[in-house]
Amino acid sequence: KGLRVQDKGFLNTAVIRSEITYIDGEAGVLRYRGYPIEQLASHSSHLESAYLLIYGSLPTREQFKHFESEVMRHGVMHADTEGFFRSFRYDAHPMSMLTSAFSMLGSYYSEANPSLQGQRLYTNGDQASLATMDRQIYRLIGKATALAAMAYRVRQGRDFVTPPVGLSYTGSFLYQMDHLGEENYTPNPVLEKALDVLFLIHADHELNASCTTVLQTASSLVDPYSAIAAGCASLYGPLHGGANEAVIRMLVSIGSPENVPAFIEAVKRREKTLSGFGHRVYKTSDPRSFIVRKTADEVFKVTGRDALLETAMALHDAAMKDEYFIKRKLAPNVDFCGLIYRAMGFPMDFFPVLFVVPRVVGWLAHWRQMMLQEGGVKIWRPRQVYVGAGKRDYVPVEQRV
């Protein structure tokens, strides 16, 4: 009663004040804590930007050393996890495994059950509670690579490997994925750097569907492992993180540049979706798409050009000059990075996982901010406008027609 406003898809609802990520969708601007994404992609690393996103400022040398060593130290998984991964069907989608694995993580830590501890787990200024929060952050960022690599290796029929010592966050991830027992394995430095840049630009994007899901879930004061599992589930969908997999499936189905015009017409008749195009906030090219293109050039020098690239470029050019897309301000988003992942040898259904691993950082930054906000957390409980039946009386089954 009295409720009139309906904002389907939250087009015009702001639920929180945030200091983390700034987007100007009209101008194509993205900044983490005030720093332009282009500067960070050129000069920072994924883990340094993770510190920035979570704690608000670029770390000093000492702060970074501590953060890196804590994250890497927490990257090791309990041996039981092996059985957990082996219990999935041989062809399970890695995102199903990863979503379940984040939830499973909470079962290892008693502090994950907030009702055991009293409701207010985290308090600004209370060192013990902040230390608990930091530990949860280190664990989730550290273990994200281990869980992702396990989901990959179990599908490949490979044994699991312990995270190595002495490699970067992204280098360690590549090692955990690819290491087959070779002595002195080191990942290709160009591919390691490229993946690190892609991780960095995927680390946060303010209140996208998955981040909103994490905050909505955490607003009941559930543990962060469960909240991250919920975010992972939300990201899986093809309108969000599943789009990088959908882009490649779409390009494979188009097959070659001469089939592009027919595909574009099918999109305009609303029979198909042009995955990798369009965005709720950007009404011009996503600034990350330029970084993706530059990174692709570096990667293709090592791996060779992907056979789907010509089709992708023909599709891009056709859409950018078609009235349907111009009128709706539809431009490329970040999801053409699937072409890079494919060139690097990742299987298609692993692409959304490559989105989750870095996005854990953004989810945690927003979760930390919300948990420590002034006045405490308010449970997210929207209202609805009920339009269903009025009161009616139960009819026994034998009287129903």
**18 and 32 Cβ atoms separated by less than 8 Å:** no
Residue 360 binding ligand CMC, by CB under 6 A: no
Asked about 286 being catalytic, the answer comes back as: no
Type of residue at 184: N
- One of 23, 195, 334, 343 touching ligand CMC (CB under 6 A): 334
Smallest distance from the beta carbon of 334 to ligand CMC, in angstroms?
5
- One of 335, 339, 365, 368 touching ligand CMC (CB under 6 A): 335
Asked about 91 being catalytic, the answer comes back as: no
The residue with its CB nearest to ligand CMC is: 278
Closest to ligand CMC by CB, 241 vs 362, is 241
Q: How far apart are CA 141 and CA 240, in angstroms?
A: 21
Residue 280 binding ligand CMC, by CB under 6 A: yes
The CA-CA-CA angle for residues 248, 280, 374, to 5°, reads: 120
**53 and 21 Cβ atoms separated by less than 8 Å:** yes
Residue 328 binding ligand CMC, by CB under 6 A: yes
Smallest distance from the beta carbon of 122 to ligand CMC, in angstroms?
28
Residue 249 binding ligand CMC, by CB under 6 A: no
Q: Select the span of 12-20, 110-118, 212-220, 240-248 touching ligand CMC (CB under 6 A).
A: 240-248
3-state secondary structure of 161: coil
**199 and 170 Cβ atoms separated by less than 8 Å:** yes
- Which of 178, 196, 286, 335 is the catalytic position? 335
User: Taking Cα atoms as reference points, which of 71, 38, 57 lies closest to residue 361?
Assistant: 71
Residue 330 binding ligand CMC, by CB under 6 A: yes
Q: Is 334 left (phi over 0), alpha (psi -120 to 50) or beta?
A: alpha
**196 and 46 Cβ atoms separated by less than 8 Å:** yes
Residue 336 binding ligand CMC, by CB under 6 A: no
Residue 274 binding ligand CMC, by CB under 6 A: yes
Q: Give, for 251, the enclosing helix (H) or strand (E).
A: helix 243-254
List the structure tokens of 337.
Answer: 């990075």
Cα atoms in the Cβ-side hemisphere of radius 13 Å centred on 395: 7
Q: Select the span of 136-144, 226-234, 326-334, 339-347 touching ligand CMC (CB under 6 A).
A: 326-334
Closest to ligand CMC by CB, 144 vs 243, is 243
Residues that bind ligand CMC (CB under 6 A): 9, 208, 239-241, 243, 267, 273-280, 328, 330, 333-335
Active site residues: 279, 335
